[in-house]
Amino acid sequence: MGQSEHTRETVNLERLQKENDRLRKLLHSSGIDALTTLWNKVTLFGSIFETASSHPEERYVFVRWDVNNFHLINEIYGTQEGDRVLKQLAHQFDAMERQEGRALYWGYMGNDSFAACYLRKDFDAARFQGLIGSAFAEIEAKYNFTISIGMCEFAGREADNSIADKSLMALRSILNTSQNSYAWYDDSFRERAREAQELTGEMMAALRGGDFVPFFQPQYTCYANERKELCGAEALIRWQHPTKGLISPGIFLPLFEKNGFIWDIDWFVWESTVRYIRQWLDQGYHVPRISVNISRADVFHTDLVQNLLSLAGGYGVSPEYLGFEITASAYSEMDRLREVTDGLREAGFRVVMDDFGDTSASLDLLRDVPVDQIKIDMRFIRGDEDRARTIVKNIVATIREIGSEVIAEGVETKEVADFLRYIGCRNEQGYYFARPMPEEDFEKLLISQ
């Protein structure tokens, strides 16, 4: 190729790019987003505000939906493919709203986020989720993503930019992103969001400063005539906050699972537990097996099993002293979990399937995933006493028959404790026996054994 031809080609390309830019700007100024060809945010909000101000007494719903973890699509398939996915979503969304014919306006908010505005009386959240679910079923399955939907209701006279923040807050309040879900905004959100931000700002200093501590909840093997024997304990994290007091993990763990700090916290609990086991052994106590929890997010750490082996090895603690609890519902979501479970067991650790019975897939799990111990939570089994008892009895029998150990947690009364023993579930954990306690108290318990 001659120099001149090469130059000509470059010039053409440049011209083309310029032309593209010009078109994009033109589209933008006309209120259309170039990638998705939906209305852009400016147009969308302009139209909503206009309608709202001319009908100020009417009530409206602003609904926005995001693709969960869209960045993974970009990372795995490349941004070009990511753009194609967005275009497809936009196309389906557009077709869905046109066919449905109920929305006032809809458009593209940018990134992986779309929105629509309805009259309150024309909107039904479950229906919207259903429509989204069927419109995107194919593409969701292909790229393995889910969608979160956040909504806020407002009167025409209140319409302002805050509807974008409110719907986003509602959307972000959805913690379980393993399936399509929706959430409504209410005024408590602002307070909760503020609190979450405060805790996030404090968490690292708190860990360094020793404000996080593992508590230990004893587990007992029960025999007739009230005789019981300490057979284990579960380590449960607590945040001893200097001004807020003891904060329970239900408040901060979902936050840490989102911001990634969960790994630091879990590693801290594992390391503290191994260190305590070492101390207790050195003092000559009979040390039962201690279970620690593994979060879903931890499972993606490569070398997890190897790291845990080194941790235990570093303190000269044999792996059989440690059990790892993984919540049953995580198994159906992740193939990798199977690998980690097998790896842990091969390394000599015990694996406990936590919160068994919480998901409908529990029976499949029994068949497919070998673990050492299965933990049934008595709090799952509410409602009709007789039915609940029949169910527990049969679950216990099945678990024992397939050769796994069974334990019940959340045992709060003597009556439940006795019933469990009677049907052959002798390992029990719960407030009836003991609450989670600080290490000093648990050590006293070890001494008294």
Could you list the residues that contact ligand C2E (CB under 6 A)? 217, 236-237, 248-250, 253, 266, 269, 293, 295, 325, 354-355, 379, 409-412, 430-431, 436
Q: Which helix (H) or strand (E) holds 206?
A: helix 188-208
Is the Cβ of residue 153 or residue 409 nearer to ligand C2E in the bound state? Answer: 409
- Residue 236 binds which entry of Mg ion, ligand C2E, none, CB below 5-8 Å type-dependent: ligand C2E
DSSP characters over 141-153: HHHT--EEEEEEE
Q: How far is the CB of 370 from Mg ion (least distance, A)?
A: 19
Residue 97 binds to Mg ion (criterion: CB under 5 A): no
- Residue 210 binds which entry of Mg ion, ligand C2E, none, CB below 5-8 Å type-dependent: none
Q: How far is the CB of 395 from ligand C2E (least distance, A)?
A: 16
Q: How far is the CB of 186 from ligand C2E (least distance, A)?
A: 24
Is the Cβ of residue 248 or residue 310 nearer to ligand C2E in the bound state? Answer: 248
Q: How far apart, in whole angstroms, are the C-alpha atoms of residue 352 and residue 407? A: 9
Question: How many other CB atoms sit within 10 Å of the CB of residue 441?
Answer: 14
Q: How far is the CB of 374 from ligand C2E (least distance, A)?
A: 13
Q: Which helix (H) or strand (E) holds 98?
A: helix 79-100
Site for Mg ion in 374-433 (CB under 5 A): 377
Q: How far apart, in whole angstroms, are the C-alpha atoms of residue 322 and residue 317? A: 9
Q: How far apart, in whole angstroms, are the C-alpha atoms of residue 358 and residue 178? A: 15
| Residue entry with tokens 């503020």 | 194
Q: How far is the CB of 355 from Mg ion (least distance, A)?
A: 4
Let me know: does 182 contact 125? Beta carbons within 8 Å.
yes
Is the Cβ of residue 169 or residue 420 nearer to ligand C2E in the bound state? Answer: 420
Q: How far is the CB of 295 from ligand C2E (least distance, A)?
A: 4
Q: How far apart, in whole angstroms, are the C-alpha atoms of residue 418 and residue 424? A: 10
Q: How far apart, in whole angstroms, are the C-alpha atoms of residue 369 and residue 365? A: 5
| Residue entry with tokens 């690292």 | 204
Is the Cβ of residue 94 or residue 325 nearer to Mg ion in the bound state? Answer: 325
Is the Cβ of residue 44 or residue 237 nearer to ligand C2E in the bound state? Answer: 237
Nearest to 351 by CA among 329, 328, 378, 382: 328
- Residue 101 binds which entry of ligand C2E, Mg ion, none, CB below 5-8 Å type-dependent: none
- Residue 266 binds which entry of ligand C2E, Mg ion, none, CB below 5-8 Å type-dependent: ligand C2E
Is the Cβ of residue 156 or residue 232 nearer to Mg ion in the bound state? Answer: 232
Q: How far is the CB of 136 from Mg ion (least distance, A)?
A: 33
Site for Mg ion in 193-222 (CB under 5 A): none
Let me know: does 147 contact 65? Beta carbons within 8 Å.
yes
Is the Cβ of residue 153 or residue 325 nearer to Mg ion in the bound state? Answer: 325
Site for Mg ion in 338-357 (CB under 5 A): 354-355
Nearest to 116 by CA among 190, 36, 184, 38: 38
Q: How far is the CB of 410 from Mg ion (least distance, A)?
A: 8
Count residues binding Mg ion (CB under 5 A). 5
CB within 8 A of 297, min separation 6: which ones?
257, 260, 262, 263
Residue 293 binds to Mg ion (criterion: CB under 5 A): yes
Is the Cβ of residue 83 or residue 257 nearer to ligand C2E in the bound state? Answer: 257
CB within 8 A of 323, min separation 6: which ones?
232, 289, 290, 291, 292, 349, 350, 351, 352, 372, 373
Let me know: does 441 contact 218? Beta carbons within 8 Å.
no
**Residues at the site binding Mg ion, with contacts judged by CB under 5 A:** 293, 325, 354-355, 377
